[in-house]
Chains A and B, each alone.
Chain A
Amino acid sequence: MIIQFNTRAPVYIQVVDYFKKKMALGELQAGEEMPSRRELATELKINPNTVQKAFKEMEEQQLITTERNRPSRVTTDEHVLKRIRTELVDEAVAVFVESIQELDVTMDELVDKIKRQYGEGNINDRSTGS
């Protein structure tokens, strides 16, 4: 597991985002056991206190549940998992829209380009997948 950290953003939030993405993509399934905090700190070469803070944040956002003296688990709440996906998509679109607005592209041109490039992407996905 490798996260390319950004030095200007809180590391604990970057860790939370990393796990959100894994949950949204189903790489971490509902109810699945999370890695131990200690393992994670060593693997990512970050401060154990930062990992602790990331887990606390994930608990507060109800992404994971932790019972006393047990490993944390991904939530089984479908609503939460759906919400994560929506959140990630919204965030990515917001970043995209902000950068494209600077270029003053018309909506028609944009939609056309997206359709073409996105379509190509899908074809490539299929061809590598089979």
Chain B
Amino acid sequence: MIEVLGVKKRYRKKQVIEEVSFTAQKGEITCLIGLNGTGKSTILKGIMGLTPFDQGTVLVDGKPIDLNRVAFVPDHSTFPIHFTIEQCEAFMRDFYPKFDPKLFARLVDEFKLFPEDKLNELSKGTLAKVNLALGIAQDPDYLLLDEPFSGIDVFSKEQIVELFSSDIMEDRGVLITTHEIEDIEYLVDKAVMLNRGRIVREFDVEDVRFIHGKSIVDVMREEYGA
């Protein structure tokens, strides 16, 4: 389980994260929902220690984060744009001892990627798949994804959604941020809603459907207004 406990973050004069606590379980897909600019990415980067929180604690299975067990997939490529997919892979193999070339090969195959393609030749959807493949091939227990569906074509979305319901993701904990829940309405176990730097709702998605007959979008409408 990832536990985010009372974290806060200020950028200059702006308190981006007022105070946030929530958990994400292993073997489940947790979705951090919020309108644009509500601090979703800040929370993921804070968990990874890329831009540390000012206050609060992050625990992964009760211990401080171990980057060999948690992978982060940003919403943009972190590699130079003239790199080929192969070159990205080679870099990752050097950098992450747990990087699994077989798993990467399988993802390349399922996503129908061409390893010799350069990043700057790829569509946004294909680039998102490359980023995702590089993240999953680290074989992490937990995977953090920042807006994986944002601005990509419908078929790439479908391929990514299929991947999340496949054996490749089995037993991994996934924490995903999005402002477009429609794409993953049926994938999510738990929704955590962020508004103005605070958690306003945290709920089991099937429970809310069962007990209140409400969809995630219904709850979003209540929280964020029409």
- What is the interface of chain A, defined by CB distance below 8 A to chain B? 5, 7-13, 38, 41-42, 44-50, 53
Cross-chain contact B209 with A5 (CB below 8 angstroms)? no
Cross-chain contact A42 with B209 (CB below 8 angstroms)? no
Partner pick for A49 among B28, B166, B167, B218, CB 8 A cutoff: B28
User: How many residues on chain B are close to A (CB under 8 Å)?
Assistant: 26
B24 to chain A, nearest CB (A): 14
B26 to chain A, nearest CB (A): 12
B213 to chain A, nearest CB (A): 5
By Cβ-Cβ distance, the 9 closest A-B pairs, closest first, are: A7-B215, A41-B165, A46-B186, A10-B209, A10-B210, A42-B165, A8-B215, A10-B206, A45-B161
A50→B187 CA distance, assembly (Å): 9
B10 on interface, CB distance cutoff 8 Å: no
Given A7-B217, A8-B215, A8-B218: A45 and B206 interface contact (C-beta under 8 Å): no
> Chain A residues near B164 (CB, 8 Å)?
47
**In chain A, what residue has the closest Cβ to B167?**
A38
* B127-166 near A? 1/0 per residue, CB < 8 Å: 0000000000000000000000000000000100110111
Cross-chain contact A50 with B206 (CB below 8 angstroms)? yes
B121 on interface, CB distance cutoff 8 Å: no
